[in-house]
A and B are shown apart, each in its own frame.
Chain A
């Protein structure tokens, strides 16, 4: 059981990092589509879509779907709530590094 918990904890960190990466990427670019995020973060399709769903469910990002010719294109952008959450998270990290 201890080994399982350890694995879970490890997995948790990686997952959170992907979400952090997604938010950082979207904050920098303003908006991006799925393939762009995949290339920028170097993660798999399934992994990325799971985290995008979590971020969307939390209201941190908005998803817009449109057709370019016949191809569907999904773009993601941060919501004001997501921007605020990201900024306060970065602030927290900075103060942690300063005081830690």
Chain B
């Protein structure tokens, strides 16, 4: 006759291992559970796509703006809209996967992303004071700062975030090295990176982990 095991206080909460094979098996259980808990992430594929589209709209607007300060101001508004978008979609996705949007993990991620964004803000401030110094190469600085944020977040998150980070790092470097007057200028790179990369990333994330 089978009786369910009584889980009383005399028994250890975790099983005491008796062989190396069993210990390895338990370590595997731990690793798998931990990976699944961070990889069922609240990162939203839809958010990536909308952020990408917002960036493309930003490109269309700034294409007509020839004032460098106004240009940076437009992008700042676009970025704030992207933050709001991401917050709304992350909240929605967190509800779906049964996670709290302000979970300790989310706080880790925000802390990891912050330095990159602060560095980007410093470049933007510098740009407002000396618009001619960087010109549209400010875009390259943004890409590199954003790459830093993404690569830090990638340490605690899925591999795709790190891949996106490396892509931005490459795009930032390319943007810096493009000679002036070349058809593929910083503005177009902005559309490719902040627009294109985000849309591709969002579509991939959505298909792989759900929207």
Contacts and interface: CB of A to CB of B under 8 A. Distances in A.
A30 B20 contact: no
Contacts of A16: 13-15
B100 interface: yes
Contacts of B30: 20-21, 24, 90, 93
Interface string B66-100: 00000000000000000000000000000101111
B5 A12 contact: yes
A8 B37 contact: no
B96 to A, nearest CB: 10
Contacts of A23: 14
A41 B33 contact: yes
A31 B98 contact: no
Nearest to A54: B7
B5 A31 contact: no
B27 to A, nearest CB: 5
B103 A24 contact: no
Contacts of A54: 7, 13
B37 A25 contact: yes
Given A97-B23, A100-B23, A12 B37 contact: no
A36 B98 CA distance: 5
Interface in B159-195: none
B20 A97 contact: yes
Contact of B27 (A11, A22, A75, A97): A97
A55 to B, nearest CB: 7
Contact of B29 (A17, A27, A31): A17
A29 to B, nearest CB: 4
Contacts of A31: 100, 103-104
B33 A28 contact: yes
Nearest to B41: A29
A96 B29 contact: no
A39 B100 CA distance: 15
Interface of B: 1-5, 7, 9, 13-15, 17, 19-20, 23-24, 26-27, 29-38, 40, 95, 97-100, 103-105
Top 5 closest pairs, chain A to chain B, by CB: A30-B104, A100-B20, A16-B15, A24-B33, A36-B98
Given A15-B7, A17-B29, 8 more contacts: A7-B2, A20-B14, A25-B36, A25-B37, A41-B33, A57-B7, A58-B13, A96-B20
Interface of A: 4, 7-8, 11-13, 15-17, 19-36, 39-41, 50, 54-55, 57-58, 60, 68, 75, 85, 89-90, 92-94, 96-97, 100
